[in-house]
Amino acid sequence: MSIIWKPRLDPDAAYWRDLARELTEQHFAPLAPILDRDQRYPVESVELLQKHKIAGMFVPKPFGGEGATLTSLCAVVDEVAQGCASTAAIVVALPLGGFPILLEGSELQKRIYLGGLSREGVAVNFALSERGAGSDIAAIQTAATREGDGWRIRGEKCWLGNGGAARYYIVFARSDEERGVTAFLVDKEQPGVVIDFFEDKMGLRGTLTSNLKLDTAVTDNAIVGTEGRGLRLALKTLSVGRVTVAAQSVGIGIAAYEAAARHAVERKTFGQAIIDHQGIGFRLADVATELSAARMMTYEAARAYDAGEDIGVLGAMAKLYASEAAHRAVNAAVQTLGGFGYVKPSPVERYYRDQRITEIYEGTSEIQRLVIARAIKTSKDKA
Ligand SMILES: Cc1cc2nc3c(=O)[nH]c(=O)nc-3n(C[C@H](O)[C@H](O)[C@H](O)COP(=O)(O)OP(=O)(O)OC[C@H]3O[C@@H](n4cnc5c(N)ncnc54)[C@H](O)[C@@H]3O)c2cc1C
């Protein structure tokens, strides 16, 4: 029985958690080492996510989805990440592509794209980053210029999570030197859109991370939200997405901690279980405490979002703390297992590699600290 703090979920969220737990135990976790070894995208797992309506769970019911809360989504990501961090990353990437449409898309865009995701699993991808613009998103060079009644988009996007598997891309492009960046929906089947290669990654090797080259035409109907306000939309989307990355971090951290705790109770050195050596027992006590705190922050951020509260700072804090707590958890797990933690088939060496991205994507730890530091400067609230 785990001592990690457990969220008290409402019946809906508990339903989604239980469904995710069952699918993870039966399908996702057994597949995880194979995906990692072969660097293979789990088409069969994505079909299960679709069949069990997890893929479009966050889409509101009027658009064919399940209208699930962010708390329910986090409960799913937390469970899936305990068995397969790659599959959890796929679950995280789906709403990241869908949220810009949910937040600011037109009724027609919601019907077509969110409806397509929830009914047929046709994914939309969030295409913000470029080689020269990751943290500094205002530096993006992809340009949208007026061409006839529409636009020509030229440029290159990189590191697209679910890239290649997704049909549509929300491409953030500089539409005007003064008025800034606009978000455009682009179909990968349209002329001038090329997915030209996939990254060979340290971890999350069951995910596709692709590069996208663009020299393509779109109409005004492709604009998501307001022309020139794309960066604001990207930041709004990321502030929600960060909470799901926090949940993914918690899940990976828990998987590592549980493996370490089991080993520490079973493994004997110098005549006693290694958990009874204070150096090991205290380390695992710290990990259990930090993961519990990380989980509390994550579910509190999700609850706050579901209640309509602003989660700009709390979401950044949850992502920062959960990803770094998970880092300490996977490190402690490798150390607790000793040589067994460094070699396959022990899963902890995979957890060690899979965890690392949670401190990088959807804003690095430094960027989360930047968000929090800026809020310190401007806040006038009483604690
Ligand atoms: C597997 C994977 C999946 C991804 N998925 C997507 C996706 O789906 N869509 C998408 O658009 N992008 C995606 N990304 C991109 C990801 O969001 C960026 O890699 C990330 O934001 C960091 O940008 P960068 O790599 O350019 O690093 P840089 O911005 O170059 O940063 C380098 C280092 O400098 C630090 N740094 C930068 N600025 C500051 C500052 N002001 N103060 C202090 N430190 C600073 C950073 O924290 C980092 O440590 C993905 C990346 C990976 C690896």
Number of Cβ atoms within 10 Å of the Cβ of 8: 8
Q: Each residue of 287-302: pLDDT tens digit?
A: 999 999 999 999 999 9
Q: Does residue 357 have its Cβ closer than 6 Å to ligand 1?
A: yes
**Does some domain include residue 332?**
yes
Mean pLDDT of 233-257: 97
| Secondary structure letter of residue 229 according to DSSP | B
Short-list 246, 320, 214, CA closest to 71: 246
Same domain for 361 and 280?
yes
At 177 the pLDDT is 72
242 and 371 housed in the same domain: yes
Taking the CA atoms of residue 79, residue 81, residue 87 and residue 93 in that order, the dihedral angle to the nearest 10 degrees is 100
Place of tokens 């409402």: 10
Asked if 280 contacts 274 with a C-beta cutoff of 8 angstroms, the reply is yes
pLDDT band at 164 (very low <50, low <70, confident <90, very high): confident
Q: How far is the CA of 161 from the centre of ligand 1 (A)?
A: 13
Within this chain, do residues 253 and 304 fall inside the same structural domain, yes or no? yes
Output Rg (C-alpha) for the chain, integer angstroms: 21
Q: Are residues 291 and 182 in the same domain?
A: no
User: Are 246 and 372 in the same domain?
Assistant: yes
User: How far is Cα 273 from Cα 18, in angstroms, rounded to an integer?
Assistant: 33
Same-domain check for residues 203 and 245: no
Clarify whether residues 156 and 29 are in a common domain.
no
Average pLDDT of the chain, as a whole number? 96
Mean pLDDT, range 18-25, rounded to an integer: 98
Domain region containing 293: 232-378
Question: How much is the pLDDT for 73?
Answer: 98
Of 166 and 1, the structure prediction assigns the larger pLDDT to 166
Residues 27-49: tens digit of each pLDDT: 999 999 999 999 999 999 999 99
Point out the domain boundary residue: 229, 256, 280. Answer: 229
Q: Are residues 129 and 264 in the same domain?
A: no
For residue 160, pLDDT beyond 80: yes
Helix, strand, coil percentages, rounded to 5, for the chain: 55, 15, 25
Q: Do 147 and 72 have their domain in common?
A: no
Strands, DSSP E only, in the chain? 124-127, 143-147, 150-161, 168-176, 180-187, 193-198, 209-218, 223-224, 268-269, 272-273
Q: 284 C-alpha vs ligand 1 centroid, how far in Å? A: 30
Is 320 a pocket residue for ligand 1 (Cβ < 6 Å)?
no
pLDDT in tens, 57-74: 999 999 999 999 999 999
pLDDT value for 346: 93
> 304 lies in a domain?
yes
Q: How many domains does the chain have?
A: 3
368 lines ligand 1 (CB under 6 A): no
Same-domain check for residues 306 and 192: no
- Binned at pLDDT 50, 70 and 90, residue 179 comes out as low
Atom 37, ligand 1: residue with shortest CA distance: 135
